[in-house]
Structure 1
Amino acid sequence: MENMIHSTPSHTSLPDCFVFPADQVLPASSAVVSLPVIDMSRSRDEVRRAILNAGKELGFFQVINHGISEQAMQDMAAVGEEFFRLPAADKVELCSEDVTKGTQLFSGTTYETGGERYWRDCLRFAYDFPVGNCTKDWPDKPHRLLEVVENFTLLTRGLAMELLRLLCEGMGLPLDYFEGHLGGGYVTLDINHYPACPNPSITLGLPPHCDRDLMAVLLPGQVPGLEVAYNGDWIKVQPVSRAFVVNFGQQLEVVTNGTLKSVEHRVMTNSALARTSVAMFIAPTEDCFIGPAAEFVSEENPPCYHTLRFRDFKRIYNVVKLGSSLNLRTNLRKVQKET
């Protein structure tokens, strides 16, 4: 537990390993730019158009009236915060930097770049869906964790698959296009904890990155911290009551040949308040080959991306920077040469 940031009761100074050059921690724009808020109780046609528009411009949006109860959202937020308040003895066996483990508790070392560390601890669950026997390695405290995480994952995965079906309707893909191998890989649930930080202006909770999966559904918590790249700047995401933040991963950009965007985002820290968020990721199966769908390719619009097996994409992901959409197009050629 000595590597866990939250295991130290209070931090009065920032260790050097967390300090970044000023040009890597530029403040967000002061301009007011809000993520689109999509009301899923509106007509299906209206919701579909709103998702497509958001995906083409920002790659991010928030959804309300999504069918997941406020109680389920509150339970997930509460059990996540409760976990990080547990005594160290109740968590120590979960600590691991082994990314192949299905259940692990790790700190910012997983996102090391040049020896720098990020101000974040994370409890990660990665398992086949439905859960089945995967829960045998899950922590038994807090006592409701298993029940709450299972229920939350079931609900948020259902929401993600419905959003993908809406995208299929709007883009002319078969409605079940993402039902098989493309959306049938491990479900990953991250409970992220960003302790109060003594100097948020010189460190990061998470680095600028694009998610490598298909789609992410985020319960952002009440403390702001998420920022999204927009027109060469960063915009702050203000949490909306009872809303989920949704963003498109790189595999969705590849499938749509760049029609939908996977956009860089980062997490900033807070000097006064800890922040806990919960992210659920939809991913392809390891052996799934992913490339632009035929519906998005023509003589006038040739493929922008190579077709790759998802396990190969993951293997190279942390070696070749694949942050922005432009980098994704350029560097997938490097990935192709590595595989």
Structure 2
Amino acid sequence: MDKLVSSWYNDQSLPESYIFPPHERPGKLLVPRCNTVPVIDLSDTRTNLVHQILKASQEFGLFQVVNHGVPPNIMSETMSVFHKFFELPAEDKASLTVYTNDPKRCKLVTSTLDYDREKIHLWRDVLRHPCHPDCIEFWPRKPLRYREVVAACSIEAKKLGLEILELLCEGIGIEHGYFEHELTEDLLLGANHYPPCPDPSLTLGIPKHFDPDILTILLQEHISGLQVLKDGEWIGVRPIPNAFVVNIGYILQVCDQ
């Protein structure tokens, strides 16, 4: 537990092990929020949706969706239980910080699972666990209603993901239902917590990366900081209330090729 950023960040300045090399630091330059990242209204006609999603996927690899059908109360309750989870006393989270190879178990770590082998750590705590119904017994018991709320959100997220994949299948000429069953059976949840940082110009919460899976559905809430690389330039993704950010993963990029 002593490794979790949230358990000690108020006690000291930024440790050396969290300071990135000068060429990798974010610095103090502000990345403007960009209005060019596609925002797709899922209540539009199917023909328009297929065209818009395919175009956004090819040009940006990322887009936001609104009117997606996920009830706003489920979205707000989900964010609330995550906030409450990271505010729990250390003893309530201790069992989740024990490393295990069991794929059904929850993992609560600082930076990444490779913390002990990293030269530089990321400024975040992250909770990860599978969302398959067989794994619910291993989910956190606190805060109150965590399991109920997260289960409801994961069901809605899977429905949304399958809907988007179906539209993409139609756009790139893949047979109907190609991504159902084994390819999308396992959902992995990741809740990132970024405590206030003493000097955010020197460190990162998440470095530049591509997602290795099929699809990532992100609830950004009101938090700025997400960026996407477009034509060699990093642009900020503007948070939109009640929207989801959809990121095309590497597996799907390979399928499109």
TM-score, normalising length: structure 1: 0.71
Q: Shift in Å at residue 34 of structure 1? A: 3.2
Q: Which of 75, 78, 82 in structure 2 is aligned with 1:73?
A: 75
Amino acid of the structure 2 residue aligned with 1:108:
S
Q: Shift in Å at residue 6 of structure 1? A: 0.5
Q: Shift in Å at residue 104 of structure 1? A: 1.1
The answer for the alignment partner of 1:123 in structure 2 is: 127
For structure 1, which segment, 98-107 or 76-85, has the greater mean C-alpha deviation from structure 2 after superposition? 98-107
Q: Which of 105, 108, 113 in structure 1 is aligned with 2:111?
A: 108
C-alpha distance in 1, partners of 2:163/2:233? 31
Distance 1:223 1:98, change over 3 A: same
Unaligned 5+ runs, structure 2: none
Equivalent residue runs for 1:251-330 within 5 Å: 251-257=251-257
Q: Shift in Å at residue 143 of structure 1? A: 1.4
C-alpha distance in 2, partners of 1:30/1:172? 36
Does structure 2 retain, via aligned residues, the 8 Å contact 1:17–1:116? yes
Does structure 1 retain, via aligned residues, the 8 Å contact 2:34–2:237? no
Runs of 4+ in 1 over 6 A off after TM superposition: none
Does structure 2 retain, via aligned residues, the 8 Å contact 1:11–1:197? no
C-alpha distance in 2, partners of 1:195/1:165? 37
Q: Deviations over 1:53-100 (max 9, x none)?
A: 100011000000000011000000000000011111110111034464
Amino acid of the structure 1 residue aligned with 2:109:
F
C-alpha distance in 2, partners of 1:90/1:30? 39
Q: Secondary structure at the match of 1:251?
A: helix
The answer for the alignment partner of 1:147 in structure 2 is: 148
C-alpha distance in 2, partners of 1:28/1:189? 29
C-alpha distance in 1, partners of 2:195/2:121? 14
C-alpha distance in 1, partners of 2:21/2:85? 33
Higher relative contact order (CA 8 A, sep 6+): 2
Does structure 2 retain, via aligned residues, the 8 Å contact 1:122–1:193? yes
Equivalent residue runs for 1:88-103 within 5 Å: 88-98=90-100, 100-101=102-103, 102-103=105-106
Unaligned 5+ runs, structure 1: 258-339
Q: Shift in Å at residue 11 of structure 1? A: 4.9
For structure 1, which segment, 65-74 or 133-142, has the greater mean C-alpha deviation from structure 2 after superposition? 133-142
How many equivalent residue pairs?
253
Q: Equivalent pairs: percent with the same residue?
A: 38
Distance 1:169 1:194, change over 3 A: same
TM-score, normalising length: structure 2: 0.92
The answer for the alignment partner of 1:222 in structure 2 is: 222
Distance 1:150 1:31, change over 3 A: closer
Q: Deviations over 1:223-270 (max 9, x none)?
A: 21211112222111111011000001100011111xxxxxxxxxxxxx
The answer for the alignment partner of 1:172 in structure 2 is: 173
Amino acid of the structure 1 residue aligned with 2:172:
M
C-alpha distance in 2, partners of 1:11/1:174? 56
Q: Secondary structure at the match of 1:174?
A: coil
The answer for the alignment partner of 1:61 in structure 2 is: 63
C-alpha distance in 1, partners of 2:208/2:37? 18
